[in-house]
Structure 1
Amino acid sequence: MTAVQTPPGSAPRTSRFSRALRRLPVRRILVLLPLALVAVVAVRHRAVLVEGFGHLATAKWPWLLAAAGATCLTWVAAAVTRQGAVVDRLPALRLLVTQFAAGSANHLLPTGLGASAVNLRFMTVCGLPPARSSAAVALYLMAESVARVGLLAALFIAFPHALRLDSLLPDGAVLPLLAGVGGAALVVVVVLALVRRLRTAVFTFVRSALGEARSVHTRPSRALALWGGSLAFPALQAAGLAAVGTALGLPVSPWHMALAYLAATVAVAVVPTPGGIGSVEAALIVALVAAGGPVAVATAVVLAYRVITVWLPLLPGALTLGALVRLKVI
């Protein structure tokens, strides 16, 4: 029986290729990757940046400082909520810095994916098993979503005529929208019913997440941190928009601006754009106009708000993210 001979020189080439891959400075690449993504995103949205900074120059600075302060407090609220999602105690300072870096990652990757990946890695490095880390991320996302929708419902009840809903959706769009949501839900159910391996994985994850949620809620301090931080996070974001609107003289009540913000962010939550860039701006402008604001002023408010909450923290957040990777915190 004749043995199959390897072509001369192929084994050495393969081994050299493997050694070259192992020698690649992977950590250095990961450190520089956020900065490269910041440059790409900034170039793509340079017109928005220039116009947004132009509006900031004409605004009332005390209110802009209030908006910046509310933005900084959102990182504290996120850190409190992340701690509330796990029973184990996480290092407080590193957790807070990680939330700042995660915000930058969230604006560079599809919505929610960047921050979740950073926090998942952080908790794993802190010693939590991957299953519990994933469950904690899911619990955080669930609590923040419930809190955001709950705040929106409360403001709708308090100010039922704040938004002109007929201007948010064109005539005849409600039924197709509901049909689309129902169809998507039906597709998910059918896929889970037909694909046994996927169904098993989903059910296993859900059981793990429910177990983590039960453990967290047996400790009042963790439950308070989870739900208090989840409520504070969207409230601070809405307060930031209201402060920018006041700074630029938008003739809309701050409560109505907060309601418009929550309605817009809930509406675009399913749009997988990096940090909601583009979709959030459009939805916020439409919501502020529906609340009674002039189109030109509403556009200026949204651009200035996004500069404060997205663009100004983006570069330092990316630098922090790179430093955390280099220091092996994540």
Structure 2
Amino acid sequence: MSQTMSRALPQPLPSPVPQQARRPVYRRVPVRRILCLLPLAAVAVWVLQHRSLIGSGARQTLAANPWWLLVAVATTGFGWVAVSFARQGTVRERLPARRLFATQFAAGAANHLLPSGIGASAVNIRFMTGCGLPPARSSAALALYFLAEGVTRIGLLAVLFLAFPEALRLGPMLPDRSGAMVVAAVAAGVVALLVGALLIRPVRRLACTFLCTALSDARSLHRRPSRALALWGGSLAFPLLQGAGLVAVALALELEVRPPHVMLAYLAATAVAALVPSPGGIGSVDVALVIALVAAGAPAEAATSTVLAYRFITVWLPLVPGALVLGALVRAKIV
């Protein structure tokens, strides 16, 4: 009965639990969205740093023959197509063509932010690993591309130099005694660094693995005529198209140098400028091109105007669109 009476009595209400103060909810910004904006920010800083060069190049371009300038723009665009073929020729797997071309266009913008082609190499390795290739094979494909591009460029330079031995006066292009000593010291330091790295067992093991992978891929690729043709054809077409762009700009500005001599000057200048690790070749390529055109017989002022207009078309004009494409590829997780 006591239990019945206790149930009939009203039960005390539970004491109210104090509500915790609501904390403001902060939305986390995705890291990839920030990475999408980094290329644009880097390009903006780069443009501000080189605004005087960009302005000079734009003025020289506006004063030139527009039809030859359109030819220079077309050769620049076809250059990305040639690079896409060469990149496809470095791997056995079929890469998506549209994404491959967009990656090469975006890699051009990345290449002007880091020295010695590091930006373009990083973009291409990310693209290949995203397509399912292991990192070792992606690195081997990158090394094969650089090898083919270097061999074809030096081969073209040798052929043109033998065909037109009077085209360049090599005196202005050769470094003086102090410059030669600096180049020799840098080369000796690089060789010593490589030899010292190979003496370390883990580094030696990685190098042996990389070489075995690269040689195996190179043998298998050259057994497939389509891949070999894409690799060597694209590697040969790219410097020819770039040199043809400089020839078109020289014709637009009425530079008094024969087109084969301009092509030879371009190949010699880019070969020399490759030894100087500057972002996008800014400074090194420009100076080397001016010196090479002067060595080919052009007046210094006309050579400078030609180089500024050429670099405006090939570097500065596609820089912002390339950064936009790079940001879109990063956001889509393609690179």
TM-score higher than 0.5:
yes
Distance of aligned partners of 1:45 and 1:206 in 2 relative to their CA distance in 1, 3 Å threshold: same
Q: How many Å separate the matches in 2 of 1:146 and 1:233?
A: 12
1:293 aligns with 2:292: no
1:183 aligns with 2:204: no
Q: How many Å separate the matches in 2 of 1:169 and 1:84?
A: 35
Percent of aligned pairs sharing the same letter? 61
Q: How many Å separate the matches in 1 of 2:287 and 2:65?
A: 24
Please point out which of 45, 60, 83 is paired with 2:50. 45
Hey, what does 1:142 align to over in structure 2? 147
Hey, what does 1:203 align to over in structure 2? 208
Larger radius of gyration: 2
Q: Deviations over 1:224-272 (max 9, x none)?
A: 0000000001110011011101111111011111111111111111222
1:249 aligns with 2:254: yes
Q: Deviations over 1:117-164 (max 9, x none)?
A: 111111111111111111111111111111111111111111111110
Q: How many Å separate the matches in 2 of 1:111 and 1:62?
A: 33
Please point out which of 252, 255, 264 is paired with 1:259. 264
1:233 aligns with 2:266: no
Q: Deviations over 1:148-183 (max 9, x none)?
A: 111111111111111100111255468636743652
Q: Deviations over 1:92-139 (max 9, x none)?
A: 111111111111111121121111111111111111111111111111
Q: How is 1:94-173 mapped onto 2 (pairs within 5 angstroms)? A: 94-172=99-177
Structure 1 position 185, deviation (Å): 5.2
1:212 aligns with 2:209: no
* Paired letter, 1:75: W
Distance of aligned partners of 1:143 and 1:254 in 2 relative to their CA distance in 1, 3 Å threshold: same
Hey, what does 2:289 align to over in structure 1? 284
**242-251 or 185-194: bigger deviation:** 185-194
Hey, what does 1:16 align to over in structure 2? none
Structure 1 position 190, deviation (Å): 3.0
Question: What TM-score, normalized by structure 2, do the two folds share?
Answer: 0.88
Q: How many Å separate the matches in 2 of 1:177 and 1:245?
A: 33
Structure 1 position 273, deviation (Å): 1.1
Structure 1 position 195, deviation (Å): 2.2
Distance of aligned partners of 1:125 and 1:216 in 2 relative to their CA distance in 1, 3 Å threshold: same
Aligned-pair Cα RMSD in Å: 1.7
Distance of aligned partners of 1:175 and 1:126 in 2 relative to their CA distance in 1, 3 Å threshold: closer
**103-112 or 224-233: bigger deviation:** 103-112
- Partner of 2:297: helix, strand, or coil? coil
1:55 aligns with 2:60: yes
- Partner of 2:112: helix, strand, or coil? helix
Distance of aligned partners of 1:181 and 1:157 in 2 relative to their CA distance in 1, 3 Å threshold: farther
Q: How is 1:5-84 mapped onto 2 (pairs within 5 angstroms)? A: 23-84=28-89
**229-238 or 181-190: bigger deviation:** 181-190
Q: Deviations over 1:186-205 (max 9, x none)?
A: 41453134322222222221
**166-175 or 57-66: bigger deviation:** 166-175
Q: How many Å separate the matches in 2 of 1:112 and 1:201?
A: 22
Please point out which of 271, 274, 289 is paired with 1:269. 274
**42-51 or 270-279: bigger deviation:** 270-279
- Partner of 1:183: helix, strand, or coil? helix
Which of the pair is proportionally richer in helix? 1
Q: How many Å separate the matches in 1 of 2:237 and 2:98?
A: 19
Q: How many Å separate the matches in 2 of 1:182 and 1:35?
A: 35
Q: How many Å separate the matches in 2 of 1:262 and 1:177?
A: 23
Which residues of structure 2 form unaligned runs of 5+?
1-25
Hey, what does 1:302 align to over in structure 2? 307
Hey, what does 1:86 align to over in structure 2? 91
